[in-house]
Amino acid sequence: MVTILGAKTNKKTKFISIRWKLVSTYLLLVILLLIVINIFITKTITNIYLQEKNIDMLAKTNIIANDIDYSNESRSNSIIYEIIKNEVINYSKEINSRIIILDEEKTVTIDSKEEFEGEKFNHSEVNSALKGKSLSNEYYYKKYGHIMYTSVPLILNGKIEGAVLTSTSIDNIYTRVDDIKKALYLISIISIISIAVISFILANIFSKPIQKFTNAIMNMARGNLNQRVEIKTNDEFKQLANAFNIMSTKLDQVDLQRKDFVANVSHELRTPLSSIKLLSGSLLHQDKVDEEIYKEFLSDIDSEVDRLNNIIDDLLSLVDLDKEKLNLNYKATYINHLLEKIISRLNPLAKEKNITLKYNEFNKIQINLDKNKIQQAIINILHNAIKYTPENGAIDVSLYSKNKDVIIEITDDGIGIPEKDLEHIFERFYRVDKARTRNTGGTGLGLAIANQIVILHQGKIEVKSEINKGTSFYIKLPLNDTIV
């Protein structure tokens, strides 16, 4: 039962796919177009044939009117009347049409089929001819089919003596038009079938890339992020495939970085927690412990707690910076004083490694910014510089303005950053050397936090680095106030 339902569902899905929508749309448009074309062609051909027949019958009827000598005298003379009647009958056979002669009273005097003689005709064609105007009209009778009546005035010596009315079958015209119509229908059916096949093939070609994208996206939904779509055509599908492949690669990299980050943070959290557990357990399981040992163990526990706090603070900072409606507390701030304060705070850390921390002040600058957040960004970068600069090294912090930017330059002579890693160092969870970072206590979030803070201030951070020669960070903020 499940199999049957599945088959029905697949069949239903197949017939509402974009392939079938394209084919059905093309076919509908083609069918409508062919119907319009067929109607137009048959109408045009019918009108052309009728117009030709009309001209032909007017000419033949005029010939009859001009050839016969028909007047009141000829009607009263039985010999002349019979001669004229025989001429009319013979001409009727020649042109394969019925010929009727009427006098000025609309009375039939001669009928090539000798059926209506003596009767009065009140046809519009007769009335028009008796007024001196030739007229031709088409009629359809169930018994006789399509008939064309043509009437011209019968003029003798400048006077209208009556009218000549011809009646001819035009069924042959409609038969020919029907033959043409059947040929057009046959051509249309062949065209529709051909277009349907071609449309289906083209729709199949167009839908294949979409199917590839669908399969790739479904695989990504299952957790397989490293998906690629190969499109060989040079069209929009190719551009879409390139964009998709870039996105897929990026997502896969982010996912790998996330996994690495989770593993590293787990390690970072587990290490201090294990130390705290071991130290506190040692104290709990000893009955008598010297005060000095208590102090030493508690000092170590305090250090591990600080380490945990640093990791948690980084994570919380990153979450705060991700909030869409983050409100920056802008205040007029002297960058000079801010840098002096930061350097003073981190100088003891630099002295532990005998690193010279030098501050170069080229301008006194005051701008509006969020003092606390910018301070956090500068501390993160400067702390990194101290961390990765070897003992007896040097770090220069410079402040100056250039091209409407405030630039805070932090240059060290440390170990440097490989060129392949430079474009990634501001990515979250990215760490240049995982083993080295773990040893120095980093989480791989400091530069990401700093970069996000600077971007929120409409600024940017640029980096230049050479292995074993050092690294320079340039924090550029828009100069929105006057240099003092």
Residues whose CB falls within 8 Å of the CB of residue 228, separated by 6 or more in sequence, listed in order = 216, 245, 248
Three-class secondary structure assignment of 348-385: HHHHCCCCEEEEEECCCCEEEEEHHHHHHHHHHHHHHH
Asked if residue 306 lies in contact with residue 276, where contact means CB atoms within 8 angstroms, the answer is no
In contact, 442 and 433? CB cutoff 8 Å: no
pTM as predicted: 0.48
State the pLDDT at residue 305.
Answer: 80
- For residue 269, give both structure tokens: 């959290």
- Say whether pLDDT at 441 is over 80: no
Q: State the amino acid at position 370 in one-letter form.
A: D
CA distances in angstroms from 386 to 374, 396, 446, listed in the order given: 18, 11, 13
Q: Which tokens go with 236? A: 């929009």
Which numeric CATH code is attached to 236-320? 1.10.287.130
Phi, psi of 228 (to 5 degrees): -130, 140
Where do the H-state alpha helices sit in 222-290?
236-284
Find which of 190-199, 217-226, 275-284 is predicted with most confidence, using mean pLDDT.
190-199
pLDDT at 4: 42
pLDDT at site 6: 44
* CATH level 3 topology of 327-478: Heat Shock Protein 90 (3.30.565)
| Start-end of CATH 1.10.287.130 domains in the chain | 236-320
- Average pLDDT score over residue span 423-452: 68
At residue 133, the pLDDT reads 92
Confidence at residue 220, expressed as pLDDT on a 0 to 100 scale: 81
- Residue 420's pLDDT is what? 85
**Least confidently predicted of 57-66, 125-134, 474-483:** 474-483
Least Cα distance to 406 among 484, 344, 341, 318 occurs for 484
Instruction: Indicate if the pLDDT at residue 15 is higher than 90.
Output: no
Note the helical H segments in 136-170. none
Minimum mean pLDDT range among 40-54, 193-207, 333-347: 193-207
Q: Where in the chain is the domain with CATH 3.30.450.20?
A: 68-169
Residue 366: strand pairing partners: 334
Q: Report whether pLDDT(391) > 80.
A: yes
Confidence band for 74, pLDDT divided at 50, 70 and 90: low
Closest CA to 166 of 104, 235, 223, 93: 93
How far CA 206 is from CA of 200, 202, 350, in Å, comes to: 10, 6, 64
Distances (CA, A) of 353 to 51, 385, 395: 110, 12, 12
Above 70 in pLDDT, residue 455? yes
Fold of the domain spanning 68-169? Beta-Lactamase (3.30.450)
- State percent of the chain over pLDDT 90: 27
- 317 pLDDT band, cuts 50/70/90, is low
How many Å apart are CA 215 and CA 192, to the nearest integer? Answer: 33
* Residue extent(s) of CATH 3.30.565.10 domains in the chain: 327-478
Name which of 28, 101, 97 is nearest 68 in CA terms.
101
Cβ density class 313-343: b for 16+ within 10 Å, e for less? ebeebbeebeeeeeeeeeeebebbebbeebb
Q: Give the separation between CA 87 and CA 63, rounded to whole angstroms.
A: 12
Residue with tokens 């305090």: 302
- The tokens describing 225, both together, are 């992020």
What is the pLDDT averaged over residues 151-179? 89
- The confidence score (pLDDT) of residue 430 equals 67
Q: What is the pLDDT of residue 198?
A: 84
Q: What is the mean pLDDT of residues 81-102?
A: 88
d(CA 327, CA 330): 9
- What average pLDDT does the chain have? 81
| Window from 152-166, 207-221, 229-243, 420-434 with minimum mean pLDDT | 420-434
Lowest mean pLDDT among 32-36, 94-98, 252-256, 346-350: 252-256
Q: For the segment 260-275, what is each residue's pLDDT rounded down to a tens digit?
A: 767 766 766 776 777 7
